[in-house]
């Protein structure tokens, strides 16, 4: 695993570690949805370097998405802070 891949993996693991069991269940349920609503905010867990994204039509693949609406605002804030931290 090269350095950028390792960094991406560790960042993704750090983000997911913030979620409690109920939030993981909520996110897992959200992944079964066919798509996000137009304008819904989300993080692409495969491309966290893109930051917060907004859904546009049917172009969002749900398998690697962390929808903002599936977790409490306090958890979303912690995740954004984790991504903004130096070295993330």
pLDDT at 59: 65
pLDDT at 31: 63
This prediction has a pTM of 0.79
Mapped onto helix, strand or coil, the DSSP state of residue 56 is coil
User: Which is higher by pLDDT, 9 or 84?
Assistant: 84
For the chain, the first-to-last Cα distance in angstroms comes to 17
User: Quick one: which of 56, 48, 40 has its CA closest to 80?
Assistant: 48
Average pLDDT, the chain: 84
Whether pLDDT at 28 is above 90: no
Whether pLDDT at 44 is above 70: yes
Rounded distance between C-alpha atoms, residue 41 and residue 49, angstroms: 15
User: For residue range 51-82, what is the model confidence (pLDDT) as tens digits?
Assistant: 999 988 766 667 788 999 989 999 999 999 99
């Amino acid at each position: 695993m090269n350095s950028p891949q390792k960094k991406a993996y560790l960042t993704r693991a750090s983000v997911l570690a913030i979620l409690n069991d109920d939030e993981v269940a909520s996110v897992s349920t959200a992944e079964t949805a066919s798509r996000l609503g137009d304008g819904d905010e989300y993080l692409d867990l495969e491309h966290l370097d893109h930051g917060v994204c907004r859904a546009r039509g049917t172009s969002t693949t749900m398998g690697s998405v962390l929808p903002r609406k599936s977790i409490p605002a306090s958890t979303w804030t912690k995740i954004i802070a984790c991504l903004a931290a130096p070295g993330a």
